[in-house]
A and B are shown apart, each in its own frame.
Chain A
């Protein structure tokens, strides 16, 4: 047994990098999927709407923990595919991000007045150009504060990856706590690090909200 030292604190901080990696993976793969889902959900074609809705219902009805378990423990059993923790966690976080961001962005798209689509169509713009230049920028403004808010959820959500043994901040906290027998201190520090990472985002989201509401 040893007591909590600066080295332990630094190891926690370096584990925060892996939390960051998970967030980046989730956003890099989840955001394009989210855009696709949002477009499908607002599409005029029923088949597209239903497919996206079914996917969303499925994913949002399962806790993130369940998704992680499924991709890490379930995939080898069902499909015979063994996955390294990073891949399994990455897929689970991606799916999770896609479904929640997709719904946030759908809300943004639907919040733009129908007349804007109509005006753009009357100028002879293609449907894609209507979306790209007229709808999306306005939808993005409205969806930005909740998107940043979701980012906070995502950062905290990555802590669940510790369940499958992936060493990010929460898992590193477990390891340090086991080595030092100072769980209260260690977990308090872990919590403080999460808080410090999320606080700027929360403040940013709040100021965005104030600013965008004022601008309307």
Chain B
């Protein structure tokens, strides 16, 4: 059974239909990259997987459990499905350690010392153990985004969603974040990314999903999709994306 199963999902904002019957399945350990023009519905789809957006039709299941904004144990679900945002969304009034340990301390009632050890562990995985006592404002954008990833990892998620996580970064900082994500991919984390980083999509993803006008236009392994786009839309998208 697939880890994530998306069937015929529709979603509208007012009179604008952003998802027009999207179906997609994601297996454990897969790295799925969703590409497409802005307005194609890719971020919305990602947010629906985490129950941040209510879907109007169809169904999304994660581990067989239907995902809904009013699902039972939504909080437990959110701890298993982490999300990293374009704008980092760190808590500016807390140190890096507190950003990371807040949820485990409140939700899992771990002790403070245990929290610090956990923070050091996940920070080591993003290469920022020395920043544990810093405040977000003292970090570069790339470092902040790596802390956001570490904060997510601290929940021990089974699936991680990345919503254009490098789009707000200066070009020279993109690499350090992508490297962290590559490491996670190598360690077997199931990941779904919305991204404009075609290099990452080509080299790391196990599956590419090209969305266009609220639909999954094409999907397949990157080598296939990039070498032999079947639709003119994908062909022109690839051509325009450097």
Q: Which positions in A face B, CB cutoff 8 Å? A: 115-116, 118-126, 129, 133-134, 137-138, 141
Contact = CB atoms under 8 A, between A and B. Distances in A.
A138 B92 CA distance: 8
Interface in B34-88: 50, 52, 75-79, 82-83, 85, 87
Nearest to A129: B106
Interface in B92-112: 92-93, 102-103, 106-107
Interface of B: 50, 52, 75-79, 82-83, 85, 87, 89-93, 102-103, 106-107, 151, 155
Residues of A contacting B: mostly? helix
A137 B93 contact: yes
Contacts of B93: 137-138, 141
A27 B87 CA distance: 38
Given A123-B102, A133-B106, A116 B91 contact: yes
Given A115-B87, A116-B91, A137-B93, A122 B106 contact: no
B155 A123 contact: yes
A179 B91 CA distance: 60
A129 B75 CA distance: 12
B75 A122 contact: no
Contacts of B52: 118, 121-122
A62 to B, nearest CB: 37
A137 to B, nearest CB: 5
The 8 closest A-B pairs by CB, nearest first: A119-B89, A123-B103, A124-B79, A124-B75, A124-B78, A115-B89, A137-B93, A122-B83
